[in-house]
Chains A and B, each alone.
Chain A
């Protein structure tokens, strides 16, 4: 069961999903997920391995089509408004999605060119994620944590209204966790929303507005039965 704001018009919701279902072959991974996220909200998505967390995130990012149900992202239908949704959504997958034989700067320059941006902002973003010193190194030699930071840097090239983050804290050190939380709180301050897949609540507890748990393909009650899992604090690096 999801968290419903009945008085919020659908076009103002960052995510407005009803009965979203998806199967792979004969196995139903999602069996009717209903979820609403308002702009300015950071929602943690918890659940066991294979419970469908990443699948749900991919559906909202337009990477997968649902087999049933309806969902809108900032008022745009997943099926008919995929292009509009892509221009508003920043997606951080569990895998880094980088090119090993390109340098850190080239990876970001590629992303900037694909987004239609000037590459002038690439160095500033590398500086922010702490990778300026290795900007000309190939990604092949990067640790998992450095690759995560570079993926985050790609996300920072543009200001997206909705962040969909799949285990964003994986492989990050304390400084990286603070950086990630800073990105989340910045996004919220700018009126965006975020849905964050988590295995552990601890790294994100300070920035989450509420959590939902996915079980047997459906959303369960929020943890603690309340809308807010923990008071949001400005724990990030700005």
Chain B
């Protein structure tokens, strides 16, 4: 069955990426440390006004995840490029999208773990009260992470062929991420504020739509960007 072969390849690539990342440790520790540092710096920049800090918490959280995520996306292809493993990966028979899906799955796990830590630190640092509708907040975090990781994994593949990939990735990624970030920030902000205007649902629907579009578009276009 072709789909079983494809799913096996996706799982194999995700396992490989997560195993190498778990063993090298430097990657995850570095990414989490950067995320937390950005949150702390936002805290300093906003000053002692508790109201202002809480109002900016959602934005600060997503920006911290974005900047730290860029490091993670770059690393996911750096491992392939260091010893020429990307060429071997491209030589295995099967659809190219399985490579993308495997990396996306690994990056999603990676960013998800980072998100948990950054959110917990953010709650303490910004004195945020966990809302009653916390399952919806978890949903927003998950939807936002999917959009971020789909585009991040895709543009990291595109930038990986360039010597200036560390610079190129944010330049390509940030403009494309504006709708996802905007929707995620607004939905998070609404939920943290008790969602008095019942606007979180609309932002979440928009996030869902962006995720579907970006997941489909990146899977379809991956073969074009990874081929030399």
A residues near B (Cβ < 8 Å) are: 58, 61-65, 83, 86-87, 89, 91, 93-102, 106, 110-111, 113-116, 138, 154
Contacts and interface: CB of A to CB of B under 8 A. Distances in A.
8 contacts: A65-B228, A86-B92, A91-B91, A95-B83, A99-B79, A100-B20, A106-B19, A114-B94
Task: Give the bracket for the number of chain B residues in contact with chain A.
Answer: 20 to 34
A99 B91 contact: no
B91 A86 contact: yes
Contacts of B8: 113, 116
A102 B20 contact: yes
Chain B interface mostly helix, strand, loop or mixed? helix
Contact of B24 (A86, A101, A115, A154): A101
Given A93-B84, A110-B16, 11 more contacts: A58-B87, A58-B228, A89-B91, A91-B91, A94-B84, A97-B87, A99-B83, A101-B23, A106-B19, A111-B88, A114-B94
10 tightest A-B CB contacts, nearest first: A95-B84, A97-B88, A114-B92, A113-B12, A101-B23, A101-B20, A97-B84, A87-B93, A97-B85, A86-B93
Given A64-B228, A113-B8, A114-B12, A100 B93 contact: no
Contacts of B91: 61-63, 86, 89, 91
A154 B24 CA distance: 23
Given A63-B87, A101-B19, A110 B93 contact: no
Contacts of A89: 91
Contacts of A62: 91
A100 B23 CA distance: 10
Contacts of B87: 58, 63, 91, 93, 95, 97
Interface string B5-36: 10011001100100110011000000000000
Interface in B91-128: 91-94
A97 to B, nearest CB: 4
